[in-house]
Amino acid sequence: MAFRRFVSHRAAVISCVILGLLTLLVIFAPFTARYGVNESVQVPPNSFLTPRANAWLGTDDIGRDLYSRLIYGVRVSLIIGLLSALISVTIGSLVGAIAGFRGGKFDDIMMRVTDLFLAFPFLVTLLIVRNVLGAISWIQPITGEMNSVRFIILLFSIFGWMGVARIVRGQVLSLKEREFIEAARAVGASRRYIIRRHLLPNSIGPIMVALTFSVVGAITGESTLAFFGYGPQAGDGATSLGNLVGAAKGAVQTGFWWLAVFPCLMLVIIALSVNFIGDALRDATDTQLDRGN
Amino acid sequence: MIRYILRRLAWALPTMLIVTFLVYVALRIGTNPVESYKRSNPRVTPEKIQQYIDINGLDPNYVLGYFRWLNNFLTGDWPRSIKGSREVWPALKDAMANTLRLGIAATVVGVFFGLIFGLLASLRPGGSRDIAINTGAFVGISIPPYISAILLQLLFAVYWQRWFGSSLFPTSGVYPAGHTGFDLFLMLKFMALPTIVVAIQIVATYSRYLRSSLLDVLNSDYMRTARSKGISERRILIHHGMRNALIPIVTVAAIDFGSIVGGLIISENIFSYPGMGLYFLKSFGDGDFPLLMPWMVIIVASILIFNLIADISYAWLDPRIRLE
């Protein structure tokens, strides 16, 4: 039922197709990209070429093909988005379920902390937490260098779980008054069992929605960081979409429009598609809950 | 009502202390103020460093240091910036004035158009106008502000100049270089693009808020009652519909403060608009503790004030809410 409702959402289906194509393009990057990520298109002069036959989307300041770089950039960004969303959704749903189920002090403190974080301007918290995370020496082995992709993934995991926790908590709060939870408690099920077998599976809809929004959050967040020069170091394996969007800033005043338009467009397409899917998922799972009540 | 406000105010003070303490600790760990002071002033004497540590409250003990800093902050004994040893308050004051101007302009424009679009969309839900507005709003919230900023800048400043000889809107600053005095028209022209960038987000968010909240209200029983009494459709919409639909929006508005400031930071950075955002990014990049702390205090205070306003106006607008 939920699936049929999702399919009836036309924009979401188109988004799925677009994202699927992008994923294929990215997985087969060595074949679909025409040049290496740091490879020049032709012998100099090759910088700032307009879109043409041997460089479909033009070249950048040192003559690298923008089309190939976009593919590699999307690859890094998708990895950042998916991994940090998975980590933050796992942490977030556990914390949210426990907070919502137990209530009391733990719940109060948790919600205060997340309120505080969410009330602050996102970029400010992001930059400060990034620096704090980078300055604590004993977590260095886990996080790696401050401008590595791993660091960025962990940074957005730390950020993402709070939004998820709030959503799952709200869901659990409404679920825990329902009869089947009461029944489970009456037959002596432990808290852990109830959370694991009843609360979390019944929150799968909101969790999926939260997952999609965390993916967008991490991808655009990474771009924001890179835009302000705090992103991953552009290198062989780490040229992200954010790096390309960041480079767009310098290309605007000089009027190299392709360097600005294509990376921005790519980011918008990804963000929009994932958002559409999340929205459709929410519609599809929400109404089901309403009928259940 | 007054008791409620007083109780909330009494809570605001300890919250303020706790949050600024957290910010103080985070900034000390994150920006390492002493190191960045030495970096900006390589040939500084040990006495100067000690003086810097004292006046900024950079004691090894965080709690002690925090109260030292607080004492100096409250008595107006503010340290000077580490770069160029500038006074902090004049810089902060200018930045605040510029940002307030930008923020208020963007909020007014954004909320105005957002509410109009939301109203238009909810009049005939499911209609083509509704779908168009909804999709537009969805695209609006999906586009990060720096993307719209870059594209607007490219179109209205750079390419407009190529096509028509002169650019439609300037892309940086508050006034052209060397300009003195006050010129409203010139100022508005410089503010146009940064305002639009922030306003796009606000329009998109508010049209969605109002639409969903108005749809809830329009389907409620008292709307049917009002209609059955024979009140004109227009009066129902404005008097019963909008009034009730705006209640939840007021709370969201105050909580949105953070995201509006976030948009302002990005917009200011791209258009080199000398406001709070540019101030923050620059001083954060330098690790300039004396500049950063007062900025943080102002942001924290504004967040608390906006939350307070939200709660109070919520209670005031909705007679169903009892506070005592």
Q: How many domains does chain A have?
A: 1
For residue A117, tell me if it sits in a domain: yes
Is A260's CB within 8 Å of B303's CB?
A: no
Contacts of A123 in chain B (CB under 8 A): 262, 265-266
Q: What percent of chain A has pLDDT over 70?
A: 95
What average pLDDT does this structure show over B253-272?
83
Residue-wise pLDDT for A185-195, tens only, equals 899 888 888 88
Q: Is A241 on the interface with B (CB under 8 A)?
A: no
ipTM attached to this prediction: 0.85
pTM for the predicted model, two decimal places: 0.85
State how far the Cα of A108 lies from the Cα of A159, in Å rounded to an integer: 19
For residue A62, tell me if it sits in a domain: no
For residue A40, tell me if it sits in a domain: no
Find out whether the peptide bond into B170 is cis, omega within 30 degrees of 0: no
Contacts of B141 in chain A (CB under 8 A): 275
Contacts of A268 in chain B (CB under 8 A): 139, 142-143, 147
Q: Which two tokens stand for residue B321?
A: 């809410």
Residue A55 DSSP code: B
Residue-wise pLDDT for B77-121, tens only, equals 888 888 877 888 999 999 999 999 999 999 999 999 999 999 999
Q: Is A137 on the interface with B (CB under 8 A)?
A: no
Is B26's CB within 8 Å of A129's CB?
A: yes
3-state helix, strand, coil in chain A (%, to 5): 75, 0, 20
Residue-wise pLDDT for B7-16, tens only, equals 888 888 888 9
State how far the Cα of B99 lies from the Cα of B188, in Å rounded to an integer: 13
Residue-wise pLDDT for B151-179, tens only, equals 888 888 788 888 887 777 777 777 766 66
For residue A39, tell me if it sits in a domain: no
Could you list the residue range(s) of the whole structural domain that residue A237 is in? 2-26+67-284
For residue A53, tell me if it sits in a domain: no
Contact, B258 vs A118, CB < 8 A?
A: yes
Element (H, E) at B147: helix B145-152
For residue A199, tell me if it sits in a domain: yes
Contacts of A276 in chain B (CB under 8 A): 138
For residue A56, tell me if it sits in a domain: no
State how far the Cα of A278 lies from the Cα of A217, in Å rounded to an integer: 12
For residue A135, tell me if it sits in a domain: yes
Q: Measure the CA angle with vertex B210, ends B208 and B212; round to 5°.
A: 70
From first to last of the 293 residues of chain A, give the pLDDT tens digit. 677 778 888 888 999 999 999 999 888 878 887 777 777 776 677 777 777 777 778 787 777 888 888 888 898 899 999 999 999 999 999 999 989 888 888 888 888 888 778 788 888 988 999 999 888 878 777 777 777 888 899 999 988 888 889 888 988 888 888 888 889 889 988 888 888 888 888 888 888 888 998 999 999 999 888 888 888 876 656 788 888 888 877 777 777 888 888 999 999 999 999 999 988 888 887 644 444 33
Contacts of A56 (CB under 8 A, 6+ apart): A34, A65, A67
Domain with residue A142: its CATH number is 1.10.3720.10
Q: Is A35 on the interface with B (CB under 8 A)?
A: no
Amino acid at A191: R
State how far the Cα of B78 lies from the Cα of B290, in Å rounded to an integer: 8
CA distance A102 to chain B (A): 25
Is B154's CB within 8 Å of A257's CB?
A: yes
